[in-house]
Chain A
């Protein structure tokens, strides 16, 4: 009985974390699924967003403004990776790793050369805080996080329906075609990376407020959590959600489910230190399955062709 009651009491927290990470995962979705680039910058950007927000709020800046500034700083992080990739000819993955590494130093600088900075909800008014996640009051972060998520999805739905957004989608879908239709694919790649990292930094700013501190390591492995959310969302809701807005919603749901499952396995007594290993294994498996499927499909195709005595060579 204690298992269920403690599980139940941990669910609001898991939902809040899922919603916050869901915004981050939507950022990952933009690069991974729309631009077809795996952008590793986000591991650094998440902490940058958190550090920026915490330091600004500690300096007396309004917490809402701090969120927007964190978003803007995320845009700049994406711009760096984008320029390294498109203007310096460095492969996208490596560009992301370079920016991420550089951000480690930048993040320490932002936090005044400290590895973490506390942000007590007793001292500062915050957008969201873990403290109230089980309270039935207006301070509860869950409704606000839900509203923020819906707003983010609505804005992205609008943007990717515009001419500019469509050209970013075309760039990811088929760069050769995009260029032939007069689309500046380099600019589109940069813009997509900026938007993605902006969202990740925004999510990091929310996360830091929620947990009451920013930490130099808070973004470590976040790309994998983001990918896990994207994949869980696709596997569970892929057939149901075809519309773009619903696909983004599925990513957010994926993140919530990830944190629910996490709570369950933690309650079952799993060692917290093994979490990253398990997450990585699950993501690797889900990424591999479509590939294996296509290989089996192709092999069947080949044997069928050979059986017919086809003349193709």
Chain B
């Protein structure tokens, strides 16, 4: 479904701030895979997701979604295949627009936007039902500005927007990191439900090892722009946090680095 082949990306090349964010990264995802991604700060997790989403061009390598080579496609064109939820709850929605208007924008992802009215009556009924499923009471506030919602409500709405028009790939970039633990758990639960109900292929970055183990059918650990650990299927089901830390210590070497992953 998703193929990343020999991806390389260096930020600020030729300066003192040069940072090799991705170095020869390879990854294949099958249809319906739910991948969780862990790794320390600067391991290249977000860079990988942003490279797939097209936030910036990669230096080398190819990105294929299905049989489509999207490597040179601009961000807004790739959006036809991709749903995204960002770490910052502010980033995924238009704060000065209404809840239903935000959903209407998302419903037209990948479609041509012409001079038809931007929000039809039939759509509103669909959104009402979908918002009700979230169980946050947002269905009664459809004409409220999104800027009035809490971080958790916004992330839930962004999730709904990302999946409203079934994406071939869903990218979750630490989308619960800015939320309090209870809200984070709730948003994660909603994510999992949406992914399973729609059989979505998904990549989720998380800093929480337990979440990385609990959710998804495959787990990768990244370090210095590479995948250093890739666990799937039965092996992942049996995985414990202790295993993960031991495996990481064995691979990355020093105790300091292990602590860095654990604490970050």
Contacts and interface: CB of A to CB of B under 8 A. Distances in A.
Interface of A: 159, 161-167, 169-170, 173-174, 176-185
B137 interface: no
B117 A161 contact: yes
A184 B76 contact: yes
Contacts of A180: 53, 75, 79, 82, 84, 86, 92
Contacts of A165: 118
B114 A163 contact: yes
A176 B95 CA distance: 12
Contacts of A174: 90-91, 93-95
Contact of B108 (A163, A177, A185): A163
B72 interface: no
B116 A163 contact: yes
B32 interface: no
Majority SS at the chain A contact face? helix
A180 B159 CA distance: 12
Contacts of A178: 76, 94, 105
Contact of A162 (B95, B105, B114): B114
B109 A169 contact: no
Majority SS at the chain B contact face? loop
Nearest to A185: B76
Contacts of B161: 181
Contacts of B91: 174, 176-177
B2 interface: no
A179 B73 CA distance: 12
Most buried by A among B79, B80, B94, B108: B94
Nearest to B74: A184
Nearest to B113: A163
A85 B229 CA distance: 44
A176 B117 CA distance: 23
Interface string B135-160: 00000000000000000000000000
Contacts of B53: 180
Most buried by A among B82, B101, B110, B113: B113
B156 to A, nearest CB: 15
A174 B105 CA distance: 12
Interface string B88-125: 00111111110001001110111101111111000000
Contacts of A159: 115
Nearest to B95: A173
23 contacts: A161-B118, A162-B117, A162-B118, A163-B116, A163-B117, A164-B114, A165-B118, A166-B97, A169-B94, A169-B101, A170-B94, A170-B97, A174-B91, A177-B91, A180-B79, A181-B106, A181-B161, A182-B79, A182-B80, A182-B108, A182-B110, A183-B76, A183-B79
Contacts of B101: 166, 169
B196 interface: no
Contacts of A185: 76
Given A176-B91, A177-B91, A182 B109 contact: yes
B116 A162 contact: yes
A179 B93 contact: no
Contacts of B105: 166-167, 170, 178, 181, 183
A113 to B, nearest CB: 41
A262 to B, nearest CB: 31
B76 A164 contact: no
B77 interface: yes
